[in-house]
Amino acid sequence: MVKRNSSKTICIGGEAGQGLVTIGQLLCKALVRSGYHIVITQSYQSRIRGGHNDFFIRTSVDPVAAPSKTTDLLIALDQASISEHGHLMNRDGLVVLDAILDPETHHALKVPFKDLAGDGFLNIAALTIAGALLGLNESLIQKLISDTFHKKDKAILEENLLVFEKALKWVREAAPAFEGLPPASPKGPRRLMLNGNEAIALGAIAAGVRSGFFYPMTPATSIMLTFIKHARTMGIVFEQAEDEIAAVNMAIGASFCGAPSLVATSGGGFALMAEGISLAAMTETPLVIAVAQRPGPATGLPTRTEQGDLLFVLHSGHGEFPRAIFAPGDVEECFSLTQKAFEISEKSQGPAFVLTDQFLADSYRAVLPFDRIDTKPLQSVAHAPDTKTPYQRYALTPDGLSPRLYPGMSHHLVIADSDEHTEDGHITEDLSIRKKMVEKRLKKTALLLSERIPPSFTGDSHPHVLFICWGSAKGAVEEAAERLRTPSLRTATLHFSQVWPLAPDDFLPVIQSAGVVVSVEGNATGQFAGILQRETGLRLEKQITRYDGLPLTPSYILSAFEKIDEGH
Amino acid sequence: MSTLKDYGSFETAWCPGCGNFSILKAVKQALVQCNLAPHDVLFVSGIGQAAKAPHYLHANVFNGLHGRSLPVATGAKLANPHLTVIAESGDGCNYGEGGNHFLAAIRRNIDITLLVHDNRVYGLTKGQASPTSPEGFVSKAQPDGNPSLPFNPVAVATVMQAGFVARGFAGEMAHLTDLICQAIAHKGFSLVDILQPCVSFNRLNTFSWYQEHCRKLENSYDPTNQRGALDVAMMDENRLPIGVIYRNKRPSFKEKAEGSSSERAFGLQPFNQALFEEVLAHYY
Ligand SMILES: Cc1ncc(C[n+]2csc(CCOP(=O)(O)OP(=O)(O)O)c2C)c(N)n1
Ligand SMILES: [Mg+2]
């Protein structure tokens, strides 16, 4: 866990279209290859060009898992970066900016970008200067540039390398006062650099998913774009649907035929999918939907973050049926829980959800190569030689699970119905069958519970202060708890990476062993605290919430906690 | 060889005298004529009286939501291209609730056959105007007469260069059977809009009204000429042409995606760890 102030935060600010994301991604790669840990926060506006965007990199020798409020190195590509972030600079911070911009009162390094990089190579010059200031190995940066551009024209690669050398020479001579990063060891195991959405797509691929359907919506789109990028290699079919209603129904059709399917969307698109979720439950078709939350209601803030759709996902779809909802806390969990969601969805023959948000979606981290949980192939019952004729898709069984066949894979006929149906899948209005079928579907809750992931507890036992959180809040809350700890104040965090179904025995003793219990959520109404109260009767009166569109940070949590503590 | 007996016979929830009975018969006969075995066929339907039809024959069935048969059929066909996928539902289902899917399916040109039981009314919900109800159609929901112009599915499909566009009539069984057969054989999206009386809720377009107004297209008619086909598709109610109105050889979704992965999508594929490592290598 990161110690106070042992990390550095770099902010690259500028207009959309200036290439700040490219600079950010390259600098991240350089840091990861050098052996540092990273947490990225991307803050951007819902437009293609112009506006003000930021790419924050918090980096450290020790693991980091949360963004920081303040900045040490500001790479300002526009004047707005200085007015937006100048006041959040740490005392020894440095502003790197184009010679034509005004550094105001800040300690600054004015760079003649035009001379160094001409038109079009600003990103390489900025990368080189930032790398040098942070103390990264020069040949590592040079190799990164070669790796990045070797596929392009040879002349372009050479031009890039020329800019690198020029910028390096310039910054060495300029030699501004700035304390770089403490050395890290690049010797450790090779790590991957990817964000939450990429990890969700890879988790789905690792699970054995064979199809994917979507309608574009920020911040979910990059899940499907990553998925599609690897579709050909992995033998996956995909289609951009005409709307979210079509996307979810296509997924159900594909899944019904034996091609497990990934669907990704955000709140508004998810609203359109609600009837399809109910359809998956009624027809007992596996379905996994990744919901990347952004602030609502309605169109809300398309490119910002919030944990505001938990209750919506929990209650989506008409009628009564079981479901599993996973809420990854970091990039590793985006991968592992997506794989888990597919496994549970196939096993329970019903809907499962992966609930993420814009912060985690866009947050790059360095992770060890994923260990695929070596599950059996998702499709397990395509051929069942001992199946009796006529095959009963909805045969009543003690655990509510009926043997599943796929249409066209044997001489058996597979009949599924969105109407209430008989065991053989035909529409019925026989009310005694209705009752049995309701009970059959609800029995599957037992399977979901037996496979649940209990919340993770970190910190001191019998804590004086216990923070409760879920999903992407994990890193910020755990760091806040860590920072709050003193020899006389025991602190801990209870993080839920599966938010439904819940088994109170997993966590009630821990909560009851704590002194002050505080829930921390990225929404205005404390939705998870509400669920806990409903399920356990436990009332969490102390709540820290954030709903301004920005992610929770340790400092935000600590200053909110101070206020709670004063009122106490 | 499959026979009519393979497709079974069932008790139905339709009104006596409903056009659905002869459509069901024609569908079964067409499947036999195409020599398809029940387990090679997947029917996907929506909700409505028409959408119940797949429950009344032996085949694989996915009876989904009102308006959503086409997207489910699309996903199914992508997952298993060996299945003969037939979407079957009413005019309300396909042209009203599922209108956007109808347009998208034509553009996508995936190899699905769409059979629309077009009784020009919402039957199951008891007689409200549907997208194909005539202007002025009076119902409890449109007491002053339907203010909207009817949707012309065959004209729209022709304008959009659907691969196969036909109009049939429930009262012309042999003719309808042949249209359905041709539609199934067509590689790409095919539409058969089937005119059908509703004995309970459509007093205007009765069996004898259709008999008077429907005319079979002549053998000399050329369905490959889009402009000519559009004239035919847009003929007014006094002469409702039935037959193959328009067809073309536009490559289907699958042909365009050839070389991609659709053949590998379904089934018991073992997980390929080596390929997965290749994917992970993008992120170092
Ligand atoms: C989402 C949704 N909206 C409305 C309904 C109610 N509904 C059921 S069938 C139907 C209309 C059926 O008309 P059509 O598709 O023409 O079939 P028909 O009964 O005439 O054969 C409606 C509105 C429904 N089941 N689902
Ligand atoms: Mg109708």
Render A170-200 in DSSP notation, one character per residue.
HHHHH------PPP--TTS---EEE-HHHHH
What average pLDDT does this structure show over B198-208? 95
Q: What is the mean pLDDT of chain A?
A: 94
Residues A203 and A169 in one domain: no
Residues B66 and B168 in one domain: yes
Residues B218 and B260 in one domain: no
Which residues are CB-neighbours of A120 under 8 A, at least 6 positions away? none
pLDDT at B273: 85
For residue B214, what are its two tokens?
A: 């429907």
Residues A85 and A169 in one domain: yes
| Pocket test residue of B55, B66, B94 for ligand 1, highest count of atoms within 8 A of CB | B66
Q: Which residue has tokens 């004015």?
A: A110
Q: Sheet harboring A456-459: ordered strands across? A: A456-459, A491-496, A465-470, A516-521, A542-545
What average pLDDT does this structure show over A358-370? 94
Q: What is the mean pLDDT of chain B?
A: 94
Q: What is the position in ligand 1's atom list of the atom closest to the CA of B124?
A: 19
Residue A337's H or E segment, with its range, is helix A331-348
pLDDT at A3: 47
Q: Are strands A261-265 and A287-293 parallel, antiparallel or unpaired?
A: parallel
pLDDT band of residue A306 (cuts 50, 70, 90) is: very high
Residues B222 and B277 in one domain: no
Residues B180 and B273 in one domain: no
Phi, psi (deg, nearest 5) at residue A75 = -95, 105
Which residues are CB-neighbours of A398 under 8 A, at least 6 positions away? none
- CATH assignment at residue B132: 3.40.50.970
Q: How far is the CA of A44 from the centre of ligand 1 (A)?
A: 43
**pLDDT at A149 > cutoff 50:** yes
Helix axes A244-256, B99-108, angle to 10 degrees: 70
Residues B199 and B278 in one domain: no
Residues B263 and B214 in one domain: no
Overall number of domains in chain B: 2
Residues A268 and A346 in one domain: yes
Q: What is the rounded CA–CA span in Å between residue A531 and residue A36?
A: 38
Do the domain assignments include residue A187? no
Residues B137 and B93 in one domain: yes
Q: What is the rounded CA–CA span in Å between residue A287 and residue A253?
A: 10
CB pairs < 8 Å spanning A and B: 204
Domain boundary among A352, A374, A396: A374
Q: What is the position in ligand 1's atom list of the atom closest to the CA of B96?
A: 15
Do the domain assignments include residue A334? yes
Which residue from B minimizes the CA distance to A407? B60
Q: Of A201-205, A369-373, B14-18, which range is least confident?
A: A369-373
Could you tell me which of A447, A477, A490 has the C-alpha nearest to residue A545? A477
Residues A91 and A207 in one domain: no
Structural domain for A390, as ranges: 380-451
Q: What is the rounded CA–CA span in Å between residue B264 and residue B272?
A: 12
Residues B66 and B99 in one domain: yes
A58, β-bridge pairs = A9, A39
DSSP B38: G
What's this model's pTM, rounded to 2 decimal places?
A: 0.96
Q: What pLDDT, in 10s, does the model give residues A536-553?
A: 999 999 999 999 999 999
Identity of the residue in A192, A257, A382 whose CB atom sits nearest the CB atom of B280: A192
**pLDDT at A384 > cutoff 80:** no
Q: What is the rounded CA–CA span in Å between residue A211 and residue A124?
A: 38
Residues A439 and A332 in one domain: no
Residues A128 and A40 in one domain: yes
Long-range contacts of B278-283 (CB under 8 A, 24+ apart): B278/A233, B279/A202, B279/A205, B279/A230, B279/A233, B279/A234, B280/A192, B280/A202, B280/A369, B280/A370, B282/A229, B282/A230, B283/A192, B283/A193, B283/A194, B283/A198
DSSP readout, A280-320?
HHHHT--EEEEEEE---STT--TTS-----HHHHHH-SSS-
Residues A76 and A159 in one domain: yes
Residues A400 and A422 in one domain: yes
ipTM above 0.95, yes or no: yes
Domain boundary among A388, A423, A451: A451
Distance of CA B83 to the CA centre of its chain: 16
**pLDDT at A380 > cutoff 60:** no
Structural domain for B269, as ranges: 256-284
Q: What pLDDT, in 10s, does the model give residues B235-275?
A: 988 889 999 999 999 999 887 765 444 454 454 567 788 88
**pLDDT at A171 > cutoff 70:** yes
Residues B260 and B243 in one domain: no
Identity of the residue in B42, B64, B270 whose CB atom sits nearest the CB atom of A408: B42
Residues A369 and A384 in one domain: no
For residue B177, what are its two tokens?
A: 């059977």
- CATH assignment at residue A227: 3.40.50.970
Residues A365 and A395 in one domain: no
The half-sphere exposure of B81 on its side-chain side, counting CA atoms within 13 A, is: 18
Q: What pLDDT, in 10s, does the model give residues B164-201?
A: 999 999 999 999 999 999 999 999 999 999 999 999 99
Residues B246 and B279 in one domain: no
Q: What is the rounded CA–CA span in Å between residue A218 and residue A198?
A: 14
Residues B143 and B261 in one domain: no
Question: Are B41 and B180 within 8 A, CB to CB?
Answer: no
Do the domain assignments include residue A179? no
Which residues are CB-neighbours of A335 under 8 A, at least 6 positions away? A199, A200, A202, A203, A206, A367, A370
Residues B206 and B282 in one domain: no
Q: Is the CB of B170 under 6 A from ligand 1?
A: no
**pLDDT at A376 > cutoff 70:** no
Question: Are A330 and A360 within 8 A, CB to CB?
Answer: yes
Q: What pLDDT, in 10s, does the model give residues A476-521?
A: 999 999 999 999 999 999 999 999 999 999 999 999 999 999 999 9
pLDDT at B47: 98
Domain boundary among A124, A143, A174: A174
Bond into B143 cis (ω within 30):
no
In angstroms, the Cα distances linking B65 to A351, B111, B225, B283 are: 16, 21, 36, 41
pLDDT band of residue A5 (cuts 50, 70, 90) is: low
